[in-house]
Homo-oligomer: A and B are copies of this chain.
């Protein structure tokens, strides 16, 4: 029956002496013997237990969970493993979403040439702000919609909005009746752009309205004018 001292065991397993001390301290793996002078002595049973600990650790379980599994094996283990699988899935999913966002931002950062840190941070804030107003499904739909229409078309639309708003404003300032044909035509274009973005989803449209109501920064960015909004709103309602 060979025995090992901490250093030997540490070297054999690739762990550190400190780690073995720690496992001892928290009662996860106590050496089955000590020398008269207090040196830890690990026996073969200890090594076996350490193997299991290492295996479970490699699965990402916490030391506490490992203690539970080894303490009362049986149902406990399967249960803990199931739980852990769930946690892992969720974590992976979340990090993957995050990575996607980061990569898209990095791509845009390079595509637009030297985007300044200022702009980057602003985009970042915009994304954070926007995400408060939509559910996860809505955000996903928005993303899919964006992919479907393509980035070229998105740039077109981004350029088209200020033009359209200016045209509406011009009609408004000329005093044109919002229910007249020229303004109704503008309203149809307006509605088309909105639906192209929302994919016809009422929830998304509602989120956008909320966003504009609560976020002055968003209104400023969009060149939002309450008078124009009210004016085109009347024409839109006439469209039904």
Q: Which of B85, B118, B127 contacts A103 (CB 8 A)?
A: B85
Contact A92 B99 (CB under 8 A): yes
Binds B, one of A47-55, A201-209, A228-236: A47-55
Binds B, one of A74-82, A133-141, A177-185, A218-226: A74-82
| A84 → chain B closest CB, angstroms | 7
Contact B52 A124 (CB under 8 A): yes
Contact B81 A106 (CB under 8 A): yes
> Chain A interface residue count: which class?
35 or more
- Closest B residue to A102 by CB, please name it: B85
Binds B, one of A22-30, A56-64, A155-163, A166-174: A56-64
| A216 → chain B closest CB, angstroms | 11
Contact A55 B118 (CB under 8 A): no
A164 at the interface (CB under 8 A from B): no
Residues in B with CB closer than 8 Å to A77 are 117, 120-121
Contact B85 A99 (CB under 8 A): yes
Q: Which of B52, B103, B106 contacts A121 (CB 8 A)?
A: B52
